[in-house]
């Protein structure tokens, strides 16, 4: 066999093997979806063992010695194959540094920790959760030490969600954003022109029916997905099985409706990837920052725009009758109202990143060993008081509100704000390319916007590095300026600043 034939054979064998690994990873993801939606509470201990078992299988496959041989011999015949090899090499190098026993221990612990967190949150019982969180932090630090070598533990964690980003680069991003966000927040909250609050009762069944209509309006393919309820909304899966969840608060319909639009953005990214990439490393979103750019632009720049909220106002009148908003302009202002509040996922566009900054600083301190888990609640409450001027009344509105730390997602939080930054850049480019977009959105037609995003971002999957993908889509390197300019213009109009 010639050298070229050997290289081609090695690449083919590697990709066949990788497709089986990706399929097994999708099965593991489905177990996680089930755990957060329909799994009986009494199954938690068994599910933890199941997750550990499948993680053991996945780790063994990801570190199989044959992978090294195939990677050494394989050659890329084109750009797609080169990208596949780049991502497989990265995964193999990472997995090979982490002992199998540690990978399984983390899978077992984070599976059981999710249930412990959910129960502690429901009971506002921080003490019931902190011992488990301490175990998660310890194991995640051990894993990061395997990955980081002589480098930063926290940077090693970030790299799992946003390759190429570091605590320093993300900290610089936050430093650039904070002053203008804080000034805009203060100006809006001090304005004498305050939008009305939404009041009333909105039944769960009606909210879920409208949520399904909204997901479909944004292009979600229900033949390859489903919408369910969960404690913390999320999206799961890729390719032909991409599921979303939402939650219902009967006094706050926007919680459900905009959580649904947000998760639809995640899901449409996965559904929009080139089907030729299915069950390969390219067949999923390239990073969490890019993923969040899709969910945030669907939710905010499109979903909270004056044009689209005008259509949503009429749809809500059709579902709920006279629900308390006098007209479409008032409804738009209410949807976008700055509300001093505790919950990140319910935060308005101006304050959202301040919630993320709080978590970024606290988890950096945790991982560095500068903050003990036992002191975390006090540190959270002190920082929240300083940033938002509010006393946290109970843990479910503070430390216990997010699922992320219970399942070991340290380094994930800053990608939410990076996603906002990317979304700001994409929105500016989208508006430049489709200047009459509002005419479509006013009719509830999002196809021009979502089609642009599918072409510019979603279809590529993992083909390019994250920043390169955004730069190509926008025609410029990503920066915070488009997002901050958009926010200042939008809220100056709403608050008559």
**Model pLDDT for residues 320-346, shown as the tens digit of each residue:** 999 999 899 999 999 999 988 999 988
Tell me: do 112 and 256 sit in the same domain.
no
Rounded to an integer, what distance in angstroms lies between the CA atom of residue 299 and that of residue 258?
Answer: 6
Quick one: tokens of 420? Answer: 């906002």
Residue ranges of the binding site for Zn(2+): 262, 266, 292
The total number of residues shown for the chain amounts to 497
Tell me: do 326 and 254 sit in the same domain.
yes
Tell me: do 348 and 448 sit in the same domain.
yes
The percent of residues above 70 in pLDDT, for the chain, comes to 99
CA dihedral angle for residue 230, residue 397, residue 381, residue 176, rounded to 10 degrees: 60
Q: Average the pLDDT over each of 166-170, 229-233, 308-312, 400-404 and give the range with the smallest value.
A: 229-233
Tell me: do 146 and 186 sit in the same domain.
no
What CATH number is given to the structural domain containing 354?
Answer: 1.10.1370.30
The mean pLDDT value for 476-493 works out to: 97
Q: What is the pLDDT of residue 215?
A: 98
Tell me: do 130 and 250 sit in the same domain.
no
**Residue 258 belongs to some domain of the structure:** yes
Whole-number mean pLDDT of the chain? 96
The mean pLDDT value for 122-139 works out to: 98
3-state secondary structure the chain: CCHHHHHHHHHHHHHHHHHHHHHHHHHHHHHHHHHHHCCCHHHHHHHHHHHHHHHHHHHHHHCCHHHHHHHHHCCCCCHHHHHHHHHHHHHHHHHHHCCHHHHHHHHHHHHHHHHHHHHHHHHCCHHHHHHHHHHHHHHHHHHHHHHHCCCCHHHHHHHCCCCCCCHHHHHHHHHHHHHHHHHHHHHHHHCCCCCCCCCCCCCHHHHHHHHHHHHHHCCCCHHHCCEEECCCCCEEEECCEEEEEECCCCCCHHHHHHHHHHHHHHHHHHHHCCHHHCCCCCCCCCCHHHHHHHHHHHHHHHCCCHHHHHHHHHHHHHHHCCCCCCCHHHHHHHHCCCCCCCCHHHCCHHHHHHHHHHHHHHHHHHHHCCCCHHHHHHHHHHHHHHHHCCCCCCHHHCCCCCCCCCCCCCCCCHHHHHHHHHHHHHHHHHHHHCCCHHHHHCCCCCHHHHHHHHHHCHHHCCCCCHHHHHHHHHCCCCCCHHHHHHHHHHHHHHHCC
Strand partners, 246: 229
The mean pLDDT value for 133-146 works out to: 98
Domain end marker among 95, 117, 151:
151
Q: What is the pLDDT of residue 129?
A: 98
Domain count along the chain: 2
CA dihedral angle for residue 495, residue 342, residue 181, residue 152, rounded to 10 degrees: -170
Domain end marker among 118, 151, 184:
151
Cβ–Cβ under 8 Å, residues 384 and 390 = yes
Q: What is the pLDDT of residue 1?
A: 46
**Residue 159 belongs to some domain of the structure:** no
In this predicted model, what pLDDT tens digit does every residue of 82-108 receive, in sequence order?
999 999 999 999 999 999 999 999 999
Q: Report residue 231's pLDDT band, with 50, 70 and 90 as the boundaries.
A: confident
Tell me: do 193 and 89 sit in the same domain.
no
* Angle value at C-alpha 293, between 289 and 299, nearest 5 degrees: 140
Q: What is the pLDDT of residue 7?
A: 63
Cβ–Cβ under 8 Å, residues 208 and 256 = yes
**Residue 156 belongs to some domain of the structure:** no
**Residue 162 belongs to some domain of the structure:** no
**Residue 161 belongs to some domain of the structure:** no
The mean pLDDT value for 37-44 works out to: 93
**Residue 377 belongs to some domain of the structure:** yes
Tell me: do 199 and 308 sit in the same domain.
yes
Tell me: do 129 and 213 sit in the same domain.
no
In this predicted model, what pLDDT tens digit does every residue of 433-447 receive, in sequence order?
999 999 999 999 999
Active site residues: 263
**Residue 158 belongs to some domain of the structure:** no
Residue 312 clears pLDDT 50, i.e. is over it? yes
The mean pLDDT value for 62-78 works out to: 95
Rounded to an integer, what distance in angstroms lies between the CA atom of residue 136 and that of residue 248?
Answer: 29
Tell me: do 144 and 277 sit in the same domain.
no
Tell me: do 143 and 207 sit in the same domain.
no
**Residue 422 belongs to some domain of the structure:** yes
Burial label for 50, CB within 10 Å (0-12, 13-18, 19+), is middle
Positive or negative: CA dihedral 215, 237, 430, 330? positive
The mean pLDDT value for 298-309 works out to: 98
The mean pLDDT value for 351-360 works out to: 97
Tell me: do 143 and 227 sit in the same domain.
no
Cβ–Cβ under 8 Å, residues 211 and 260 = yes
Residue ranges of the binding site: 262, 266, 292
Q: Average the pLDDT over each of 5-19, 245-259, 348-362 and give the range with the smallest value.
A: 5-19
Q: Name, in order, each residue with C-beta under 8 angstroms of 302's C-beta and a sequence gap of 6 or more.
A: 218, 308, 441, 446, 449
Place of tokens 């489709």: 434
Cβ–Cβ under 8 Å, residues 35 and 232 = no
Rounded to an integer, what distance in angstroms lies between the CA atom of residue 235 and that of residue 243?
Answer: 6
Q: Range of 279's domain?
A: 167-495
Rounded to an integer, what distance in angstroms lies between the CA atom of residue 222 and that of residue 481?
Answer: 36
Residue 41 clears pLDDT 70, i.e. is over it? yes
The mean pLDDT value for 273-301 works out to: 98
In this predicted model, what pLDDT tens digit does every residue of 203-226 receive, in sequence order?
999 999 999 999 999 999 999 999
In this predicted model, what pLDDT tens digit does every residue of 404-461 receive, in sequence order?
999 999 999 999 999 999 999 999 999 999 999 999 999 999 999 999 999 999 999 9
Cβ–Cβ under 8 Å, residues 467 and 173 = no
The mean pLDDT value for 235-259 works out to: 96
Residue 4 clears pLDDT 70, i.e. is over it? no
Residue 2 clears pLDDT 60, i.e. is over it? no
User: Could you count the other beta carbons within 10 Å of the beta carbon of residue 170?
Assistant: 25
Q: What is the pLDDT of residue 305?
A: 98
Tell me: do 215 and 77 sit in the same domain.
no
């Amino acid at each position: 066999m010639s050298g070229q034939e050997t290289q081609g054979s090695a690449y083919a064998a590697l990709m066949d093997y990788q497709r089986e690994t990706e399929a097994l990873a999708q099965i593991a993801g489905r177990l996680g979806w089930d755990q957060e939606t329909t799994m009986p509470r009494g199954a938690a201990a068994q599910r933890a063992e199941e997750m550990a078992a499948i993680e053991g299988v996945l780790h063994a496959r990801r570190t199989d010695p044959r992978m090294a041989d195939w990677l050494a011999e394989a050659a890329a015949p084109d750009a797609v194959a080169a990208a596949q090899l780049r991502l497989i090499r990265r995964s193999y190098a990472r997995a090979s540094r982490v002992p199998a026993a540690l990978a399984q221990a983390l899978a077992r612990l984070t599976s059981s920790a999710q249930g412990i967190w959910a129960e502690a949150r429901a009971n506002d019982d921080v003490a019931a959760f902190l011992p488990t969180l301490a175990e998660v932090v310890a194991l995640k630090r051990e894993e990061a030490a395997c990955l980081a070598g002589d480098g930063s533990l926290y940077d090693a964690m970030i790299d799992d969600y946003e390759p190429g980003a570091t605590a320093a680069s993300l900290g610089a991003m936050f430093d650039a954003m904070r002053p203008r966000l804080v000034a805009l927040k203060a100006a809006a909250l001090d304005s004498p022109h305050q939008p009305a609050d939404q009041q009333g009762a909105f039944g769960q069944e009606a909210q879920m029916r409208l949520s399904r209509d909204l997901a479909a309006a944004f292009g979600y393919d229900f033949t390859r997905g489903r919408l369910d309820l969960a404690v913390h909304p999320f999206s799961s899966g890729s390719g032909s099985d991409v599921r979303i969840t939402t939650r219902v608060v009967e006094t706050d319909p926007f919680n459900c409706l905009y959580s649904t639009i947000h998760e639809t953005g995640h899901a449409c990214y996965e559904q929009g990837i080139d089907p030729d990439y299915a069950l390969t490393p390219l067949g999923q979103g390239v990073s969490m920052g890019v993923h969040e750019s899709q969910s945030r632009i669907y939710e905010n720049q499109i979903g909270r725009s004056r044009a689209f909220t005008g259509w949503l106002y009429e749809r809500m009148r059709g579902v709920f009758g006279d629900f308390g908003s006098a007209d479409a302009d008032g409804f738009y202002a209410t949807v976008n109202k700055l509300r001093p509040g505790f919950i990140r996922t319910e935060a308005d566009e101006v304050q959202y990143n301040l919630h993320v900054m709080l978590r970024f600083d606290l988890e950096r301190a945790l991982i560095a060993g500068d903050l003990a888990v036992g002191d975390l609640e006090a540190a959270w409450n002190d920082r929240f008081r300083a940033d938002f001027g509010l006393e946290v009344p109970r843990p479910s509105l503070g430390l216990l509100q997010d699922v992320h730390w219970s399942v070991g997602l340290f380094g994930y939080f800053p990608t939410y704000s990076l996603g906002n930054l990317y979304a700001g850049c994409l929105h500016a480019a989208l508006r430049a390319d489709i200047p009459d977009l509002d005419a479509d959105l006013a009719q509830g037609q999002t196809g021009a916007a979502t089609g642009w995003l599918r072409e510019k971002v979603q279809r590529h999957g993992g083909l390019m590095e994250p920043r390169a993908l955004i730069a190509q889509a926008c025609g410029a390197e990503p920066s915070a300026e488009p997002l901050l300019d958009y926010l200042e213009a939008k809220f100056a109009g709403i608050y008559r600043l």
